[in-house]
Amino acid sequence: MEVESFDLPHELFKGTEELFCISLVSRALDPIVDGDIWIEEMSNLKKMFWIFQPEAFDPSRNYKSISNCFAGHDYRDDLIQLAIDLSKTRLIIVNSGIIQLYDKDCRKTTVEESQRQTEIFVKTELAEDIALSRNWSDERTKERLESIEFMGLDEFMEKEEWWKYLDAEDLEDWKVMTDDVEQRFAVKAETNPADDKEVMDA
């Protein structure tokens, strides 16, 4: 199921076992709440995909997040909250590495490195939130972190049953747009392992 607005009857979610959500990159940069996602009704949800759809780059458009390179609340915080609310659901986040490349204020890097940074941020902040505010065992925390996966488009096509949700032509178009944006803006990343935790806070 492709959901562009969560303003749907919550009864639809009661028997849902898999949920597939698509967000345009521009929505991740400047999120707008369309409605409610009925988390409390999703007791049977086993797997949730959240894929970030690239957009053809428009040089005349001002791509910019609502705060300085995600300095405030952004899509990563939504991922963390989702991981807490759906604590027994496997989460697969696809193509998050493309988002940073669109934002003119962000330090440029490769799609792969940007995805790695996002995963580190989300899982580190999630683990800290769990430790501070939830009575979870170490084993439960470990299982929750391991059930959250970040993938690029190629890995998604290799590992998941993407044809249940998407047309091959659409995915190929997204890959072309992702490659185009990376070629325009990406630079080879120079990472310091000691900086991993805060690398997305710049």
Task: Render pLDDT for 61-87 as a digit per residue (tens, 0 to 9).
Answer: 655 554 444 444 478 888 898 899 889
> Number of folded domains in the chain?
1
The single-letter code of the amino acid at 63 is Y
Mean pLDDT within 9-38: 70
Rounded to whole angstroms, the Cα distance separating 19 from 50 reads 8
Picking from 52-61, 111-120, 137-146, which range would have the lowest pLDDT averaged per residue? 52-61
Q: Report the distance separating Cα 156 and Cα 51, nearest Å.
A: 10
- DSSP annotation of 33: -
Determine the pLDDT at residue 96.
92
148 in helix, strand or coil? Answer: strand
Domain of residue 172: give its range.
2-201
Integer Cα distance of 90 and 106 in angstroms: 29
pLDDT at 199: 38
For 64, the token pair is 């910019």
What whole-number percentage of the chain has pLDDT above 90?
37
- The whole-angstrom separation of Cα 89 and Cα 149 is 11
Q: What is the gyration radius of the CA atoms in the chain, in angstroms?
A: 17
CB contact at 8 A, 100 and 106: yes
Q: How many helices (H) and strands (E) does the chain have?
A: 7, 5
Tell whether the model's pLDDT for residue 60 goes beyond 70.
no
Q: What is the pTM of this model?
A: 0.77
